[in-house]
């Protein structure tokens, strides 16, 4: 992976470099804020063979039984698997006659009646299994979805077979899902206590659904492991890509750049953007501060957001994930009539046009006052994606400490739940119900 900050307009001082190094050290010494949630820091190097083998064995069992696996979870219990799966998948796979892997679809990441209805309706035509993921085991959205999926699986296969088709990923001891999994006899994987949801993609939360979908989880972990070594505290600042990225974005924030737009010219990375938005939004958006994480997929969004980025409020900067080598080769052919005037492109690869779009946009945006950070990954494969995920996680920890917040809590996500339960008249919320109904 390469990181180019030459068009960010930031010249890093020795002071910010030292601060970023100190922030990275805090992640290892455990003396910083939120120090009971640092399990992710050494996760790649600490995943052992037995754990990987157990995940692969559970995945193989589900793969043998089901051609559709419904993966239930929300937030950190959803976005990592979704992001990697989208990045690794052929978007047109379902159009092919032959399917070599089960289809993994997601539920519990919304409360849409239509979404769950249509998913369950389509599931009737398939042999189904499920992975239910919730660290707390009490989150409403996945709990509702799991009720429906569990009932459908039990109705179709009976309770005993359901326990062969459902795997739970949850806390080792606490929570309703843990109790339910124990009572029903579901195989269960543990989310470590010291790994928060948004940092959990390299635990069974991400690895199990990905293994079911046929993703090479060993290569994913290997990539993350390399990045863990490359961003360790003993690596000097100028070689530590996560520290550099964290320092630059904090300098841009201090200079008034309040929104960071993550973008890429590969649509299969769209959900990496979504995963990144949760990682940074939930980690840094507190105490009335933090960079607002936004995203674009290019070149599509140049035809929607391009105008704003070029000429709107000058409070933006961009971070582009650039992919050095596509998987496939497509050459543009000459056309006898040349009615579209594009014969000057004949003989060129589509990726060359994409690259020139990227470079042209970069300079146009920089000229328009939007600083640019460029992250280059060699290709989209499991190893490169594993490295990218860990790069962003490490940078997020450093960046949160530079900002002065606790990057590992999320007190703000509770507020909506209180109102929702009051409106739904949950027992124990009687006073809140009266108060909120009076405000409607
Ligand atoms: O990052 C987080 O901690 C959250 O996004 C959680 O992952 C999300 O709220 C789901 O929580 P749980 O896994 O407890 O159901």
Instruction: Tell me the pLDDT of the chain (440 aa) as tens digits.
Output: 999 999 999 999 999 999 999 999 999 999 999 999 999 999 999 999 999 999 999 999 999 999 999 999 999 999 999 999 999 999 999 999 999 999 999 999 999 999 999 999 999 999 999 999 999 888 999 999 999 999 999 999 999 999 999 999 999 988 899 999 999 999 999 999 999 999 999 999 999 999 999 999 999 999 999 999 999 999 999 999 999 999 999 999 999 999 999 999 999 999 999 999 999 999 999 999 999 999 999 999 999 999 999 999 999 999 999 999 999 999 999 999 999 999 999 999 999 999 999 999 999 999 999 999 999 999 999 999 999 999 999 999 999 999 999 999 999 988 888 999 999 999 999 999 999 999 99
Q: How many CA atoms lie within 13 A of 360 on its CB side?
A: 10
Which atom of ligand 1 is least distant from the CA of 170? 13
- Sign of the Cα pseudo-torsion (378, 383, 389, 391, in order): negative
CA of 73 to the centre of ligand 1 (A): 8
Cα dihedral 133, 137, 142, 148 in deg (nearest 10) = 100
Dist CA 376 CA 390 (whole Å): 15
Which atom of ligand 1 is least distant from the CA of 78? 7
CA of 77 to the centre of ligand 1 (A): 6
Which atom of ligand 1 is least distant from the CA of 198? 1
- Tokens representing residue 141 in the block: 């959205």
Crossing angle of the two packed helices 113-123 and 140-157, in degrees rounded to 10? 20
Which atom of ligand 1 is least distant from the CA of 205? 13
Dist CA 79 CA 86 (whole Å): 10
CA of 355 to the centre of ligand 1 (A): 37
- Tokens representing residue 379 in the block: 């290709």
Q: What is the pTM of this model?
A: 0.97
Active site (annotated) includes residue 288: no
Pairing relationship of beta strands 259-264 and 2-4 according to DSSP bridges: unpaired
CA of 111 to the centre of ligand 1 (A): 15
Active site (annotated) includes residue 282: yes
Q: Which residues of 326-359 are buried (b: 16+ CB within 10 A; e: fewer)?
A: beeeeebeeeeeeeeeeeebeeeeebeebbeebe
CB of 74 within 6 A of ligand 1: the answer is yes
* Probe residue for ligand 1, chosen from 106, 132, 139 as the CB with the greatest number of ligand atoms within 8 Å: 139
Active site (annotated) includes residue 328: no
Are 421 and 429 in contact, with CB atoms under 8 Å apart? yes
Among 372, 369, 259, CA closest to 322:
372
Token pair 């990987």 is found at 52
Dist CA 285 CA 403 (whole Å): 10
**Strand, coil or helix: 405:** coil
């Amino acid at each position: 992976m390469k990181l180019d900050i030459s068009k960010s307009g930031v010249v890093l001082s020795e002071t910010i470099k030292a601060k970023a190094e100190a922030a990275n050290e805090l992640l290892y010494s455990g003396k910083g804020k939120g120090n009971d949630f640092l399990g992710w820091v050494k996760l790649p190097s600490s995943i052992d063979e037995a754990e990987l083998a157990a995940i692969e064995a559970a995945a193989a069992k589900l793969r043998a039984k089901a051609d559709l696996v419904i993966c239930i979870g929300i937030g950190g219990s959803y976005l990592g698997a979704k992001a990697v799966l989208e990045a690794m998948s052929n978007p047109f796979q379902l159009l092919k006659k032959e399917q070599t892997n089960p289809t993994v679809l997601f539920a519990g990441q919304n409360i849409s009646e239509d979404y769950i209805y249509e998913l369950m309706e389509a599931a009737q035509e398939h042999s189904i299994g499920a992975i239910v993921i919730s660290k707390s085991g009490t989150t409403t959205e996945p709990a509702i979805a799991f009720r429906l999926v569990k009932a459908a699986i039990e109705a179709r296969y009976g309770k005993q077979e359901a326990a062969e088709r459902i795997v739970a990923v949850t806390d080792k001891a606490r929570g309703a899902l843990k109790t339910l999994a124990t009572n029903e006899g579901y195989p269960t994987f543990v989310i470590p206590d010291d790994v928060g949801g948004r940092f959990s993609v390299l635990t069974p939360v991400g690895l199990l659904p990905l293994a079911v979908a046929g993703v090479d989880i060993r290569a994913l972990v290997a990539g993350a492991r390399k990045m863990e070594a490359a961003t360790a505290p003993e690596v000097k600042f100028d070689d530590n890509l996560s520290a550099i990225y964290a320092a630059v974005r904090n300098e841009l924030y201090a200079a008034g750049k309040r929104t960071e737009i993550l973008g890429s010219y590969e649509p299969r990375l769209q959900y990496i953007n979504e995963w990144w938005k949760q990682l940074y939004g939930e980690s840094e958006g507190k105490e009335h501060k933090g960079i607002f994480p936004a995203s674009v997929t290019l070149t599509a969004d140049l035809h929607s957001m391009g105008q704003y980025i070029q000429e709107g409020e000058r409070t933006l900067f961009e971070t582009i994930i650039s992919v050095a080598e596509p998987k496939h080769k497509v050459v543009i052919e000459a056309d006898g009539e040349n009615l579209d005037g594009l014969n000057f492109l004949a003989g060129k690869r589509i990726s060359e046009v994409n690259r020139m779009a990227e470079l042209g946009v970069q300079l146009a945006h920089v000229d328009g006052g939007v600083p640019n950070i460029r992250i280059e990954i060699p290709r989209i494969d499991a190893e490169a994606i594993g490295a990218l995920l860990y790069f962003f996680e490490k940078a997020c920890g450093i960046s949160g400490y530079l900002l002065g917040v606790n990057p590992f809590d999320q007190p703000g996500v509770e507020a909506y739940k209180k109102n929702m339960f009051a409106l739904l008249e949950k027992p124990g919320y009687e006073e809140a119900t009266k108060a909120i109904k009076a405000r409607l």
